[in-house]
Structure 1
Amino acid sequence: MWRNSATLSFSSKLLSSSSSANFSYFHYASAFSVFNPNAVVDRTLSPSHQRFYSSSAAPSPSPSSDSVIKLGFLANKSDAFRPLGSKASDAIQLARHYGRCYWELSKARLSMLVVATSGTGYVLGSGNAVDLVGLCCTCAGTMMVAASANSLNQVFEIKNDAKMKRTRLRPLPSGRIAIPHAVTWASSVGIAGTVLLAYKANMLAASLAASNLVLYAFVYTPLKQIHPVNTWVGAIVGAIPPLLGWAAASGQISLNGLILPAALYFWQIPHFMALAYLCRDDYAAGGYRMFSLTDASGRRTAAVALRNCLYLVPLGYIAYDWGLASGWFCLESSLITLAISAAAFSFYRDRTTQKARRMFYASLLYLPVFMSGLLFHRISDEQQCLVENPDRIAELSPFLEDATESGKDDQRKRLRYVTASPQRQPPVAYASIAPFPFLPVPSYVDQ
């Protein structure tokens, strides 16, 4: 900063004879070099920067070649005469611009919520010990695949987003990034995330990630403009990440691993119904066929939200009955589910914007509380063995100590399976054999 001001002061003395020259032009042009020959602002800058540079540069005439003294960065617009500091500032500005575009294309906040559900599923499926490296790799791969899906979603919906108030300033409708660039970004991170999951987790987790990417970008996205069933398809998309985390940790799909995906599936319906009711005019302008658009009174929309809230009530008891969490979680889950159901019932009785917004906020609070409680009260394999077979564990404790001292992993694994009694298998009547058509059959069917 001091160097620039000193050089400009020296330059102003040398150029004092040229009264028509505007020195603010020299300062901004030398610092950023973002002007085209006809004083048009480069489109790679954000709108706020475009307004700033155009307002400061447009009124000033371009100086003649005779009045410019070649002092390095004040010489002309050629990159050959620009100093290293100016090029570095341009690189920083460009990195900030594209970083912001990638952040918005990826819907980073939504993607981080997806990562949170996937990480929770990984911890729940890890058993006694959680592999931190595997957890980090699973979360990173999930983040990249989610970013790819959200980016492709915006590529396909450019025209629709341009018609909606809350989406028209996104990178693609506003012209801040080109379509081929966005497609390249989405393809790169999607492939990288899938490969990371296949290499660091297992092929089952990678196949779930790839299937979810295809389902979101190529099925759910076009379906939004065709039929209101898109909401239920989108709920399946949101339910797969915790199942992905469980599969990455355990290498299989079991009914215990479907409790959190079921919670995600049923939770998304009231959450989105409240949002669709609040933004129904915007969705109509964008050409999206949402359920709320065919329900002028809002009664059916509120009824669907209330019904799916009630579906959440037994999940706490099922988690306790299947040995995934303790009885305290059963109580806590019931309380928070009754709270969101009360908000949904209030919206059903009085279908106003205020009631819909209250149910929306209640849904935002429900999910983190449910996942946190499930993690806090989860029961590991060793704890379940202590509860069910305390005498048998006491008899085999000397063998366990010998195995620990010898450091033989295979022996410890064998003793673990000897010690543990056959785990309680959840009743098949609680779920279908194939929860989703593109997933493999759960392991309990073979048994």
Structure 2
Amino acid sequence: MQIVGATDISLLSKVKSYYELLKFRLSFLVAFSCGFGYLLGNQGTIDWIHFFWLVLGGFLISGTSIIINQITEKEYDKLMGRTKNRPLPTGRLSVIEAKQYAVVIGLIGFGILYWQTNTLTVLLSIVSMILYSFVYTPLKRVGPIAVFVGAIPGALPPLLGWVAATGSISHEALIIFGIQFIWQFPHFWAIAWVADEDYKKAGFKLLPAGGKQDLNTAINIMIYTLFLLPLGLLPSYFGLVGITSGVIVTICGVLFLAQTFSLMKDNSRKSALKIMFGSFIYLPIVQIAYLLDKL
């Protein structure tokens, strides 16, 4: 029987901690949106090797931003039940190790984009990282303005992908940026509603309309979700995709909007949770529908 030594266990624990620090699923979703923008903007034959490098670079830069966020919020994460077991609050990784990790994967990510894309894509990715890590993160303890600021880097991935494919920012690029930008508001606020108790412990102030779990906040969530209906039709209107995706996106938008009425009715955590999961489902379905309609 083979015995696993303490050193092996320690190494595996470190690897697992570095993996957790990267928040793989969130970084993957960012990379997916980046790839979506690239495929939507690409004309002619798709260069899949170029596509792979773009997605990898976007994934690593997203991971870098997330790690910086966790370094900044280490002490606050200790106060919240949902974050207290992360690698930094538990001491499984030191701040120095996290900083070194962020520098390494950040340099690799920016290096890949510089090598494989264009200057504008690299500049936009730098802006995205700065806004998320050094503006949005500290603003979370200031007020709901943080959601507006955070929605910008949150919506930049598809724009980055488009710019990587075309080399320019066009009205089509701004449309896909706008859809993801508006989507951030019901998404962020639903999460803030569900995690309100934890967020208050850390001093995070993300809910609108006085920061309360009430009808006013629910109405704000409903209004921004409503905006997604006309925005979702713009790609079809401008000929970027066909009418089929427009129909699918409208159906998804109506179903997403319907969830907000339940929240307006009962102001419950359960209804907010449904909106949160609905936002997770809405965006990838919409993006896949656009891609299938174009390809």
C-alpha distance in 1, partners of 2:162/2:105? 22
Match for residue 77 of structure 1?
Answer: none
Residues 340 and 363, structure 1, Cα contact 8 Å, conserved in 2: yes
Residues 185 and 224, structure 2, Cα contact 8 Å, conserved in 1: yes
1:145 aligns with 2:61: yes
Match for residue 250 of structure 1?
Answer: 166
Amino acid at match of 1:108: F
Residues 38 and 163, structure 2, Cα contact 8 Å, conserved in 1: yes
Match for residue 120 of structure 2?
Answer: 204
Q: CA deviation at 1:94?
A: 3.8
C-alpha distance in 1, partners of 2:213/2:126? 39
C-alpha distance in 2, partners of 1:165/1:100? 20
C-alpha distance in 2, partners of 1:106/1:298? 34
Q: How does 1:229-244 map to 2 (within 5 A)?
A: 229-244=145-160
1:260 aligns with 2:180: no
Q: Which runs of 5+ in 2 are unaligned?
A: none
Amino acid at match of 1:298: D
1:105 aligns with 2:24: no
Q: CA deviation at 1:296?
A: 3.2
Match for residue 85 of structure 2?
Answer: 169
Match for residue 207 of structure 2?
Answer: 291
Residues 179 and 232, structure 2, Cα contact 8 Å, conserved in 1: no
C-alpha distance in 2, partners of 1:177/1:232? 31
Match for residue 343 of structure 1?
Answer: 259
1:127 aligns with 2:43: yes
What secondary structure sits across from 2:88 in the alignment?
coil
Match for residue 224 of structure 1?
Answer: 140
C-alpha distance in 2, partners of 1:262/1:282? 30
Q: CA deviation at 1:316?
A: 3.3
Q: CA deviation at 1:259?
A: 2.2
The worse-fitting range, judged by mean Cα deviation, of 295-304 and 337-346 is 295-304
What secondary structure sits across from 1:173 in the alignment?
helix
Q: CA deviation at 1:257?
A: 1.4
Match for residue 95 of structure 1?
Answer: 11
| Structure (1/2) with the larger helix percentage | 2
What RMSD, in angstroms, separates the aligned Cα atoms of the two structures?
1.6
Amino acid at match of 2:154: G
C-alpha distance in 2, partners of 1:155/1:297? 29
Match for residue 226 of structure 2?
Answer: 310
Match for residue 158 of structure 1?
Answer: 74
Residues 156 and 337 of structure 1, relative CA distance in 2, 3 Å threshold: same
Residues 122 and 97 of structure 1, relative CA distance in 2, 3 Å threshold: same
Q: CA deviation at 1:207?
A: 1.0
Task: Give the TM-score of the pair, scaled to structure 1.
Answer: 0.64
C-alpha distance in 2, partners of 1:215/1:297? 27
Match for residue 97 of structure 2?
Answer: 181
Query: CA-to-partner distance for each residue in 1:109-168, whole Å, 9 max, x for gaps?
Result: 111110110000010111122110110000010011011000000001011000000101
C-alpha distance in 2, partners of 1:169/1:230? 25
Query: CA-to-partner distance for each residue in 1:83-117, whole Å, 9 max, x for gaps?
Result: xxxxxxx2x43432222111111111111110110
Q: CA deviation at 1:320?
A: 1.2
Amino acid at match of 1:226: V
C-alpha distance in 2, partners of 1:269/1:192? 31
Q: Pick the aligned partner of 2:268 from 352, 368, 379.
A: 352
Return the structure number with greater relative CO, CA threshold 8 A, min gap 6.
2
Query: CA-to-partner distance for each residue in 1:42-74, whole Å, 9 max, x for gaps?
Result: xxxxxxxxxxxxxxxxxxxxxxxxxxxxxxxxx
Aligned residue pair count: 295
Query: CA-to-partner distance for each residue in 1:329-352, whole Å, 9 max, x for gaps?
Result: 111111111110111122112211
Q: Which runs of 5+ in 1 are unaligned?
A: 5-30, 35-89, 380-447
Q: CA deviation at 1:292?
A: 5.6
